[in-house]
């Protein structure tokens, strides 16, 4: 079975060689790596060309259009592999484990394989994110965990897909946050009989930078002050009104995003008002669902809300 790994490349000259080398070193026989360079301001494109000259199984495609979803869709349109996965240009794989994860498809007949990963903070602190399990995992469980469990994550980078399962499903190019989650949920909802397997080893290193989109205090809000994560979740709520499970988990996730943003960033004005409204409207789902994924975190957030947040974010606002 041929494997295609799609890597969007944007201003990644410092990291790309390490990323590609970590894939090549896995020793996977039938492999192609697609580098989709999209509008970089640095020398990323030249680095892509240099890598292509060095390795026969690396392909470089240049796009003038910027955006990770656009780049991934270009990769999907050009991938020849039976198995497809994605990697960010500043991330890298653990040695030997990628080959084992891909072998799940042959050994189990899986359609999707999900793995653990390391969250790498400040280039040296690695936080282990994985479930204590190996084997088959139900479609509904994987959907729940994609939305709310940080050990599974909404990302496509710790997930492997049979090409036939992806079919015509593509990333939404008009959203900038949670596009991975939207893609995964849409894929699973389009394939109700999907066989999902979980590999409980951390094979992927997800690098968290201070300048990344998820950490940029301004980029996470829309022009009218809404959290962009909330807007994507609203789109999913409308698209899957028929699913009680998705409605419940998404509303829990809305409350979780709101309370975390209030706690960590202390926004003011219309941003604060929107977040408080989102938490209040969906708090019962937060209490109903979130304990499954992080009980200690739930207790901490409840205590913070009642002893600090409630006074700060409700009593001084005329929103109730």
In this structure, are 151 and 35 located in the same domain?
A: yes
CATH number of the domain bearing residue 173 = 3.90.550.10
Question: Of all residues in the chain, what percent carry a pLDDT higher than 90?
Answer: 59
Give the CA radius of gyration of the chain. 20
Q: How many domains does the chain have?
A: 2
pLDDT tens for each residue of 176-231: 899 999 999 999 999 988 999 999 999 999 998 655 545 566 788 888 888 899 99
> Average pLDDT, stretch 266-291?
83
Phi first, then psi: give them for residue 191, nearest 5 degrees: -130, 80
pLDDT over 70 at 289, yes or no: yes
Would you say residue 51 lies in a domain? yes
pLDDT tens for each residue of 22-64: 999 998 889 999 999 998 889 999 999 999 999 999 999 999 8
Would you say residue 213 lies in a domain? no
Among residues 144, 177, 208, the one where a domain terminates is: 208
Decide: helix, strand or coil at residue 225: coil
In this structure, are 197 and 232 located in the same domain?
A: no
Would you say residue 271 lies in a domain? yes
Confidence band of 301 (pLDDT split at 50, 70, 90): low
Would you say residue 268 lies in a domain? yes
Between 135 and 284, whose confidence is greater? 135
In this structure, are 110 and 233 located in the same domain?
A: no
Between 161 and 282, whose confidence is greater? 161
In this structure, are 119 and 234 located in the same domain?
A: no
Would you say residue 177 lies in a domain? yes
The C-alpha atoms of residue 203 and residue 92 are separated, in whole angstroms, by: 9
In this structure, are 158 and 204 located in the same domain?
A: yes
Asked if 28 and 98 touch (Cβ cutoff 8 Å), the reply is: yes
Asked if 3 and 78 touch (Cβ cutoff 8 Å), the reply is: no
Asked if 104 and 34 touch (Cβ cutoff 8 Å), the reply is: no
In this structure, are 11 and 137 located in the same domain?
A: yes
Among residues 180, 208, 236, the one where a domain terminates is: 208
In this structure, are 272 and 302 located in the same domain?
A: yes
pLDDT over 50 at 80, yes or no: yes
In this structure, are 116 and 247 located in the same domain?
A: no
Would you say residue 61 lies in a domain? yes
Would you say residue 320 lies in a domain? no
Would you say residue 214 lies in a domain? no
In this structure, are 237 and 196 located in the same domain?
A: no
DSSP state of 61: E
Give residue 317's pLDDT.
45
Between 227 and 286, whose confidence is greater? 227
- What is the distance between the terminal CA atoms of the chain, rounded to a whole angstrom? 58
In this structure, are 203 and 124 located in the same domain?
A: yes
Q: Which of 10-24, 107-121, 159-173, 251-265 has the lowest mean pLDDT?
A: 251-265
Which residue range is the domain that position 305 belongs to? 228-315
């Amino acid at each position: 079975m041929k494997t295609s790994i799609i890597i969007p490349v944007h201003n990644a000259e410092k990291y790309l060689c390490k990323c590609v080398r970590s894939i090549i070193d896995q020793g996977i026989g039938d492999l192609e790596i697609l580098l989709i360079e999209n509008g970089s301001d640095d020398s990323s494109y030249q680095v892509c060309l240099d890598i292509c000259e060095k390795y026969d199984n690396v392909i470089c495609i240049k796009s003038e259009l910027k955006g990770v979803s656009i780049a991934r869709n270009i990769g999907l349109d050009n991938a020849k592999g039976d198995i497809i996965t994605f990697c960010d240009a500043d991330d890298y794989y653990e040695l030997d484990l990628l080959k084992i994860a891909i072998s799940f498809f042959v050994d189990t007949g899986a359609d999707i394989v999900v793995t653990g990963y390391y969250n790498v903070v400040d280039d040296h602190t690695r936080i282990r994110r994985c479930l204590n399990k190996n084997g088959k995992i139900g479609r509904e469980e994987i959907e729940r965990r994609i939305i709310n469990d940080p050990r599974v994550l909404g990302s496509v980078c710790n997930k492997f897909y049979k090409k036939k399962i992806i079919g015509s499903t593509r990333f939404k190019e008009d959203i900038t946050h949670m596009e991975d989650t939207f893609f995964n949920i849409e894929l699973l909802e389009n394939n109700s009989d999907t066989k999902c397997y979980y590999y409980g080893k951390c094979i992927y290193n997800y690098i968290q930078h201070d300048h990344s989109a998820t950490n940029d205090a301004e980029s996470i809000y829309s022009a009218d002050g809404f959290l962009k994560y909330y807007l994507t979740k609203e789109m999913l709520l409308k698209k899957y009104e028929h699913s009680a499970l998705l409605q419940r988990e998404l509303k829990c996730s809305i409350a979780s995003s709101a309370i975390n943003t209030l706690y960590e960033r202390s926004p003011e004005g219309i941003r604060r008002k929107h977040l408080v409204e989102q938490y209040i409207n969906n708090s019962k789902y937060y209490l109903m669902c979130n304990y499954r994924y992080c009980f200690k975190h739930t207790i901490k957030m409840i205590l913070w809300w009642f002893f600090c947040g409630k006074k700060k974010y409700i009593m001084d606002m005329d929103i109730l």
